[in-house]
């Protein structure tokens, strides 16, 4: 994996970091603009504001209307989108390489000139609340929100990215304007350009469009530290539904912690190797059919499906396992089978051939998820936001350096009963 190789890393006088990676395999360019602001930068009463601001920033700018934002990219044969999560907010355009200036102009306008019309604000509040309601109609979403909130007592990672309904209903127009002006500034942003471009020419265009923006200031980390979890926590959600769900969340290390990669490989041994590109579906993937977790839960006909996720984050987050139970199966049966499967990894070093298989799967996923300019742009900006490019570059070497004992020790540390939060979704009318 050579994502970082050939990257031109520049910082403008106003603090904007610019990463340019020429890739001449196709006449395309992908532009990503990253802001170091996510739900962890929020507070009670304003949860969901980062996601709300993201929505508002597709509503047009002082010089580009909402309709033009969409039509110009599509007319250029491109695609565009964005997302907000716990550590960051990002926007991107992937389009023909000769349209680079168009994408950069859009992002420069978004950084300094977004419109916050009060009528648009109220209209978009309705859209966000509808999105929240749609999410809450999915039992597995509701369970995940409650499990995450129970797993964290103090750290703002406990907030749902979309926010709590009561906050969305009461936050004011000025709250969003203030949030936008505080965080959407050059000193808190990383601009990434990947594709069929000349680095020097691309940088000159960036300087002409972004260089005159006021610097602002970088975001600060949350001023709280999550206390140690000393006992298992349990959550039961009962509401109408047709299937029962189980979710188990363990405390997990941050991406830069020495145990992150060994735990990533422990998950690969248990559930099958995955990559860590959130844009390519890294928020959770079903266990591979040859993996012990699949054999223990799906082949035994306890569950219909099971997935796991270890996500790279700036601060310690969660390792999660989710399962959809078969009809008539009790949660306790699934729990026992799951915990037995975890114990087999955490109590004994895995055989060398299984470790090699896990490493091959992880390394292959890292490579496959970094083949196209859009995915490369995502990885460069994502890891520049939560860690460093050097951390991303060293990832394959970190994978290769892990021993079987490292995997066992990391699993033992993470998968302790006292550090887990167990959540059940039980359809109304079914005994918990």
Whether 193 and 330 share a structural domain: no
Whether 17 and 131 share a structural domain: yes
The pLDDT > 90 percentage for the chain reads 89
Whether 163 and 299 share a structural domain: no
Contacts for 194 with CB less than 8 Å, ≥ 6 apart = 20, 21, 23, 29, 30, 32, 373, 374, 376, 377, 380
**Is 432 inside a domain boundary?**
no
The residue-averaged pLDDT of 300-328 equals 97
- The confidence score (pLDDT) of residue 430 equals 64
The residue-averaged pLDDT of 135-154 equals 96
State how many domains the chain has. 2
Distance CA 355, CA 403 (A): 8
What confidence tier does 30 reach under pLDDT thresholds 50, 70, 90?
Answer: very high
CB hemisphere CA count around 409 (13 angstroms):
10
Contacts for 395 with CB less than 8 Å, ≥ 6 apart = 1, 261, 366
The residue-averaged pLDDT of 381-400 equals 97
What CATH number has the domain bearing residue 279? 3.30.830.10
Whether 238 and 198 share a structural domain: no
Distance CA 236, CA 384 (A): 38
pLDDT digits (tens, 9 = 90+) for 34-68: 999 999 999 999 999 999 999 999 999 999 998 88
pLDDT > 80? residue 432: no
- The confidence score (pLDDT) of residue 316 equals 97
Question: Is-contact 40 233, C-beta < 8 A?
Answer: no
Name 11's bridge partners.
Answer: 17
The residue-averaged pLDDT of 192-208 equals 98
The residue among 160, 179, 210 that closes a domain is 210
The pLDDT > 70 percentage for the chain reads 98
Domain that residue 83 falls in: 8-210
Q: Which tokens sit at 339?
A: 């915990």
pLDDT digits (tens, 9 = 90+) for 212-249: 999 999 999 888 999 999 999 999 999 999 999 999 99
What confidence tier does 3 reach under pLDDT thresholds 50, 70, 90?
Answer: confident
> What are the φ/ψ torsions at residue 298 (nearest 5 degrees)?
-85, -50
Q: What is the mean pLDDT of the chain?
A: 95
Whether 23 and 70 share a structural domain: yes
pLDDT > 80? residue 2: no
- The confidence score (pLDDT) of residue 115 equals 93
**Is 393 inside a domain boundary?**
yes
Distance CA 102, CA 132 (A): 33
**Is 224 inside a domain boundary?**
no
The residue-averaged pLDDT of 160-173 equals 98
pLDDT > 80? residue 8: yes
Question: Is-contact 19 190, C-beta < 8 A?
Answer: yes
**Is 106 inside a domain boundary?**
yes
- The confidence score (pLDDT) of residue 285 equals 80
The residue-averaged pLDDT of 137-155 equals 96
pLDDT digits (tens, 9 = 90+) for 95-119: 999 999 999 999 999 998 999 999 9
Contacts for 278 with CB less than 8 Å, ≥ 6 apart = 85, 311, 378, 382
**Is 323 inside a domain boundary?**
yes
**Is 219 inside a domain boundary?**
no
Whether 181 and 326 share a structural domain: no
Distances (CA, A) of 233 to 51, 133, 229, 236, 418: 29, 26, 9, 10, 8
């Amino acid at each position: 994996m050579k994502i970082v190789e050939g990257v031109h890393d520049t910082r403008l006088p106003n603090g904007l970091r610019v990463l340019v990676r020429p890739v001449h395999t196709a006449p395309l360019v992908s532009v990503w603009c990253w802001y170091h602001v996510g739900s962890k930068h929020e507070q009670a009463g304003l949860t969901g504001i980062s996601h709300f601001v993201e929505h508002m920033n597709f509503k047009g700018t002082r010089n580009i209307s909402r309709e033009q934002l969409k039509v110009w990219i599509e007319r250029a044969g491109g695609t565009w989108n964005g997302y907000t999560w716990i550590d960051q907010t990002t926007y991107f355009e992937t389009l023909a390489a000769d349209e680079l200036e168009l994408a950069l102009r859009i992002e420069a306008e978004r950084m300094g000139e977004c419109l916050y019309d009060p009528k648009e604000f109220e209209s978009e509040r309705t859209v966000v609340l509808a999105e929240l309601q749609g999410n809450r109609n999915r039992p597995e979403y509701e369970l995940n929100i409650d499990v995450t909130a129970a797993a964290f007592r103090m750290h703002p990672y406990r907030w749902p990215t979309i926010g709590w309904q009561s906050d969305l209903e009461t936050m004011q127009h000025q709250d969003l304007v203030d949030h936008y002006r505080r965080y959407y500034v050059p000193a808190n942003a990383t601009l990434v350009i990947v594709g069929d471009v000349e680095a020097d020419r691309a940088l000159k265009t960036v300087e002409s469009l972004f260089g005159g923006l006021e610097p602002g200031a970088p975001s600060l980390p949350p001023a709280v530290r999550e206390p140690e979890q000393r006992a298992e926590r349990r959550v039961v959600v009962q509401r109408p539904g047709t299937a029962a769900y189980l979710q188990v969340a363990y405390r997990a290390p941050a991406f830069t912690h020495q145990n992150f990669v060994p735990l990533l490989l422990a998950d690969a041994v248990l559930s099958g190797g995955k990559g860590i590109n959130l844009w390519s579906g890294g928020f959770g993937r079903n266990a591979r059919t040859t993996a012990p977790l699949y054999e223990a839960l799906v082949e035994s006909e306890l569950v219909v499906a099971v997935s796991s996720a270890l996500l790279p984050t700036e601060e310690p987050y969660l390792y999660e396992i989710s399962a959809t139970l078969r009809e008539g199966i009790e949660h306790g049966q699934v729990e026992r089978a799951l915990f037995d499967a975890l114990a087999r990894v955490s109590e004994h070093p895995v055989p060398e051939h299984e470790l090699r298989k896990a490493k091959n799967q992880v390394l292959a996923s890292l490579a496959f998820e970094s083949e196209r300019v859009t995915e490369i742009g995502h990885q460069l900006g994502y890891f520049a936001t939560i860690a460093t490019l050097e951390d991303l570059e060293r990832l394959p070497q970190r994978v290769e350096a892990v021993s079987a004992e490292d995997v066992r020790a990391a699993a033992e540390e993470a998968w302790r009963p006292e550090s887990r939060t167990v959540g059940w979704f039980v359809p109304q009318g079914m005994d918990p």
